[in-house]
Chain A
């Protein structure tokens, strides 16, 4: 009842305040520039998650990552949005959003916008964060080639000791390579961009290799991931209209898909493809119409495995968007139609659904110091309507100081996060068929959350920026997985029935501080600290948030030297975490190079330092870099049964001609 009244209040406030709106962009966002990426010592696109100020991350093999961005979701509900150049990419597969399957590399990125406060941004209502990659689409040169190659190795293998009895350990001669080539061709009004990416990722961790080599039955011993990704974009620019056609495809063979409910990886053939068309038409000096249609295809096919496990997953998604942008009462109004269809041999009760989404956004300047932004999105599956709404205010104290606040209420239909639970309810009994218990209540409840952010921003002078942030999140009716794993000696993996508990509630609070100092144009450094805690909630909610580090600390320093030499150092600290669903594996062990190493449900704090030294040659056309990740060789893991990461180094060469 309180929530309904709150929503009515927000809606009426929004309706009253729309008169006198003018168009401009309010963003509660973080911008990660190409320079930030170049100096950070990251090599894979998924590692951009490590550069987001307020994100906590995990990866169990270094290729597939999960993130909790700004406390908007736990590691369950990975429904943060991915966009590249204003095109949405549907990469969510059983609650895994894999950035490494995108058709771009780090080198292609011009900048990344991170939206981490709920609200309407680029036609999407941001609920759990949005990562928007922008690539270089400039038209200065007629024909431009760029390429990128990175190769490296992770330390910690046996090396020459592999020839000595009882001293061998997983041998990783190389990590990568990641190879990419891109051509941008401009002729008349047309721009044609083609690219190709080849990427290998090798498992360096002993237990991970053992688990995967056991499950693969085609006689291969190499355990790792290989993927290719070609893409094509054609843009036609005219005076008042722009057309864009994009097509891309990512394919990975022997992708070891890790499903938490299974406690192990299952090798698969994984495919993501996108074909889309969009246009933007300027209809007057104050109005613009955007329309788009996108088709996405996500597939998981069977790869020979000892469990005979077959995902048989062929998901087709068609979305169509129509949006009006104007400098008027309502600055953005639009409608999205989405159709999802799952093709599989599992007997489904329902193999498709439709979603219709209506949204609008407005901004109102009360006076020159106070402005309000309001957004609303209504989503329906034709049976039920749910709202998503946000209200933000910016109060400008003076030229140097601002206070921003944002409040939002978001309710979700089960179709909006069509994960394993949703499709299992509709007959996709993947786990039951393969002998795993998967227990859930029927019907699935609609989840909702209430968020509040208060931000103080101060650019004390041109050398010094401070951002102080306080947040509150209240989650209602969550559907969370509950497991209690035991170790399976024969398969080197972990077994547990999975129970979905519905109606879980909980609240978290967080404070964060970001300081940036530009000492001079050649040297700047950034300090970030945040503390997050679940303050109230059901036991399952609290234990779920114990998997997310309470404290995060990061320090980044960028230094430019003579002759185009740049040095970047980044340090990240994530405090210890506790994984109560793995309590029963305490004391289980595995052997590596005659040493016994124990599994644990309590993970120690993670401290990583990356350093990158970069030199540009031939008028900046060629760049060579040396990257060292985990400089102090701290042995750390993100996940109780995940890989441990050691010191790794990479040589990176790129060209832009």
Chain B
């Protein structure tokens, strides 16, 4: 019963998110579309443990991203590298390289502080390291990301955030990460803007 309610809530949440995203875009307009690119670099580690961690230690990760403003909110493209060390004789070491595409929205909190929330669709390429060979797996996950950004100097921002991810394997794998990093914004070069538009 609890599982069913949870599934219905999950579906309702996804649908609500999609419809809110679509409907606000119908009415939103701004001349800042694709005007800037914010590049970011973060590093972090997993926060909580679950069934997955019976076989692997908590992952250590580095993450980079690029964010461009859209009519409402922003589109983001991200790359993340994570390393999972296997517990002795229980599994194999893993290296996970992922690319993500998402949409998010910044909410100003104070003059130089903002809260940025996003959802992204992620493709993972996981290298499985055996003693004599390396094989790879391709998986997908859905990420929910929340960051606090502090504009401490010019175009530079300090970032602290958390990320929750669900990977759609036969036994679903959940990860929750904290990240700390820095970002820098530039005006979008004309040729990139033309391509995007």
Cβ-defined contact, A162 with B26, below 8 A: no
| Contact stretch, chosen from B35-43, B86-94, B104-112 | B86-94
If A153-B139, A173-B137 touch, whether A160 touches B170 (CB-CB below 8 Å) is no
Cβ-defined contact, A562 with B71, below 8 A: yes
- Asked if B79 lies at the interface with its beta carbon under 8 angstroms from chain A, I say no
Cβ-defined contact, A562 with B25, below 8 A: yes
> In the bound complex, how far is the Cα of B136 from the Cα of A523, in angstroms?
41
- Asked if B171 lies at the interface with its beta carbon under 8 angstroms from chain A, I say yes
> In the bound complex, how far is the Cα of B14 from the Cα of A611, in angstroms?
12
- Asked if A583 lies at the interface with its beta carbon under 8 angstroms from chain B, I say no
- Asked if A159 lies at the interface with its beta carbon under 8 angstroms from chain B, I say yes
A151, closest chain B residue (CB)? B138
Residue from the list B55, B138, B170 in contact with A169, Cβ < 8 A: B170
- Asked if B16 lies at the interface with its beta carbon under 8 angstroms from chain A, I say no
Cβ-defined contact, A164 with B140, below 8 A: no
> In the bound complex, how far is the Cα of B123 from the Cα of A628, in angstroms?
12
> In the bound complex, how far is the Cα of B14 from the Cα of A24, in angstroms?
48
A618, closest chain B residue (CB)? B195
Residue from the list A522, A593, A611 in contact with B18, Cβ < 8 A: A611
Residue from the list A153, A164, A592, A628 in contact with B91, Cβ < 8 A: A164
- Asked if B33 lies at the interface with its beta carbon under 8 angstroms from chain A, I say yes
- Asked if A240 lies at the interface with its beta carbon under 8 angstroms from chain B, I say no
Cβ-defined contact, B140 with A563, below 8 A: no
If A155-B168, A523-B26, A593-B171 touch, whether A162 touches B139 (CB-CB below 8 Å) is no
> In the bound complex, how far is the Cα of B134 from the Cα of A600, in angstroms?
39
Cβ-defined contact, A153 with B138, below 8 A: yes
Number of interface residues of B (CB under 8 A): 38
A163, closest chain B residue (CB)? B92
Cβ-defined contact, A559 with B22, below 8 A: yes
- Asked if B156 lies at the interface with its beta carbon under 8 angstroms from chain A, I say no
Chain A min CB distance to B39 (Å): 21
Instruction: Give per-residue flags for B59-97: 1 if the beta carbon is below 8 A from chain A beta carbons, else 0.
Output: 000000000000100000000000010100011101000
- Asked if B115 lies at the interface with its beta carbon under 8 angstroms from chain A, I say no
- Asked if A304 lies at the interface with its beta carbon under 8 angstroms from chain B, I say no
- Asked if B186 lies at the interface with its beta carbon under 8 angstroms from chain A, I say no
Instruction: Give per-residue flags for B177-197: 1 if the beta carbon is below 8 A from chain A beta carbons, else 0.
Output: 000000000000000000111
Chain A residues within 8 Å of B168, by CB: 155-156, 633, 646-647
Instruction: Give per-residue flags for A147-174: 1 if the beta carbon is below 8 A from chain B beta carbons, else 0.
Output: 0000001011111111110010101011
B84, B101, B139: which has the most chain A beta carbons within 10 Å? B139
If A163-B92, A173-B137 touch, whether A158 touches B170 (CB-CB below 8 Å) is yes
If A173-B138, A617-B196, A632-B14 touch, whether A161 touches B101 (CB-CB below 8 Å) is no
Chain B residues within 8 Å of A161, by CB: 55, 169-171, 173
| CB neighbors of A among B15-52 (8 A) | 18, 22, 25-26, 29, 33
Chain B min CB distance to A404 (Å): 35
If A163-B128, A164-B91, A617-B195 touch, whether A153 touches B140 (CB-CB below 8 Å) is yes
- Asked if A232 lies at the interface with its beta carbon under 8 angstroms from chain B, I say no
Residue from the list B7, B91, B169 in contact with A155, Cβ < 8 A: B169
Cβ-defined contact, A171 with B71, below 8 A: no
Chain B min CB distance to A569 (Å): 7
If A155-B169, A169-B170, A632-B11 touch, whether A163 touches B126 (CB-CB below 8 Å) is no
A168, closest chain B residue (CB)? B170
B14, B128, B170: which has the most chain A beta carbons within 10 Å? B170
Cβ-defined contact, B137 with A171, below 8 A: yes
> In the bound complex, how far is the Cα of B59 from the Cα of A333, in angstroms?
73
Chain B residues within 8 Å of A169, by CB: 170
Chain B min CB distance to A188 (Å): 36
> In the bound complex, how far is the Cα of B94 from the Cα of A626, in angstroms?
27
> In the bound complex, how far is the Cα of B26 from the Cα of A290, in angstroms?
49
If A173-B137, A562-B33, A617-B195 touch, whether A163 touches B91 (CB-CB below 8 Å) is yes
Chain A residues within 8 Å of B7, by CB: 632
- Asked if A631 lies at the interface with its beta carbon under 8 angstroms from chain B, I say yes
| CB neighbors of B among A496-522 (8 A) | 522
> In the bound complex, how far is the Cα of B11 from the Cα of A167, in angstroms?
27
B10, B171, B195: which has the most chain A beta carbons within 10 Å? B171
- Asked if A567 lies at the interface with its beta carbon under 8 angstroms from chain B, I say yes
If A163-B128, A563-B197, A617-B195 touch, whether A156 touches B33 (CB-CB below 8 Å) is no
- Asked if B121 lies at the interface with its beta carbon under 8 angstroms from chain A, I say yes
- Asked if A561 lies at the interface with its beta carbon under 8 angstroms from chain B, I say yes
- Asked if B162 lies at the interface with its beta carbon under 8 angstroms from chain A, I say no
Chain A residues within 8 Å of B121, by CB: 626, 628, 649
If A562-B33, A649-B121 touch, whether A173 touches B169 (CB-CB below 8 Å) is no
Cβ-defined contact, A567 with B22, below 8 A: yes
Chain B min CB distance to A648 (Å): 9
> In the bound complex, how far is the Cα of B170 from the Cα of A561, in angstroms?
35
Cβ-defined contact, A160 with B137, below 8 A: yes
Chain B min CB distance to A594 (Å): 9
> In the bound complex, how far is the Cα of B137 from the Cα of A155, in angstroms?
11
> In the bound complex, how far is the Cα of B170 from the Cα of A158, in angstroms?
5
Q: For chain A, which range describes its interface: under 10, 10 to 19, 20 to 34, or 35 or more residues? A: 35 or more
- Asked if B167 lies at the interface with its beta carbon under 8 angstroms from chain A, I say yes
Chain B residues within 8 Å of A159, by CB: 126, 137, 139, 167, 169-170, 173
Cβ-defined contact, B128 with A160, below 8 A: yes
> In the bound complex, how far is the Cα of B196 from the Cα of A632, in angstroms?
30
Instruction: Give per-residue flags for A183-202: 1 if the beta carbon is below 8 A from chain B beta carbons, else 0.
Output: 00000000000000000000
Cβ-defined contact, B18 with A569, below 8 A: yes
> In the bound complex, how far is the Cα of B137 from the Cα of A203, in angstroms?
16
Chain B min CB distance to A583 (Å): 29
> In the bound complex, how far is the Cα of B105 from the Cα of A412, in angstroms?
63
A160, closest chain B residue (CB)? B94
A563, closest chain B residue (CB)? B197
Chain A min CB distance to B100 (Å): 11
> In the bound complex, how far is the Cα of B26 from the Cα of A559, in angstroms?
9
Chain B min CB distance to A482 (Å): 37
> In the bound complex, how far is the Cα of B108 from the Cα of A542, in angstroms?
64
| CB neighbors of B among A510-548 (8 A) | 522-523
Cβ-defined contact, A563 with B33, below 8 A: yes
Residue from the list A164, A171, A617 in contact with B55, Cβ < 8 A: A164
> In the bound complex, how far is the Cα of B11 from the Cα of A632, in angstroms?
7
B18, B128, B195: which has the most chain A beta carbons within 10 Å? B18
Chain A min CB distance to B70 (Å): 8
A174, A562, A618, A628: which has the most chain B beta carbons within 10 Å? A562
Chain A residues within 8 Å of B22, by CB: 559, 561, 567
A155, A611, A618, A646: which has the most chain B beta carbons within 10 Å? A155
If A155-B139, A523-B26 touch, whether A160 touches B126 (CB-CB below 8 Å) is yes
> In the bound complex, how far is the Cα of B175 from the Cα of A51, in angstroms?
37
> In the bound complex, how far is the Cα of B126 from the Cα of A646, in angstroms?
20
> In the bound complex, how far is the Cα of B8 from the Cα of A69, in angstroms?
32
A562, closest chain B residue (CB)? B71
B129, closest chain A residue (CB)? A163
Instruction: Give per-residue flags for B117-135: 1 if the beta carbon is below 8 A from chain A beta carbons, else 0.
Output: 0000101001010000000
Chain B min CB distance to A101 (Å): 27
Chain B min CB distance to A40 (Å): 16
Q: A-B pairs with the 9 shortest C-beta distances?
A: A155-B168, A159-B169, A163-B92, A173-B138, A169-B170, A163-B91, A593-B170, A159-B139, A164-B91
**9 pairs, A vs B, C-beta closer than 8 Å:** A153-B139, A153-B140, A160-B126, A161-B171, A163-B128, A167-B171, A522-B26, A628-B121, A633-B168
| Extra pairs beyond A160-B56, A561-B25, A649-B121 (10, CB < 8 Å) | A157-B139, A161-B173, A162-B137, A163-B86, A167-B170, A559-B22, A592-B170, A593-B171, A611-B18, A633-B168
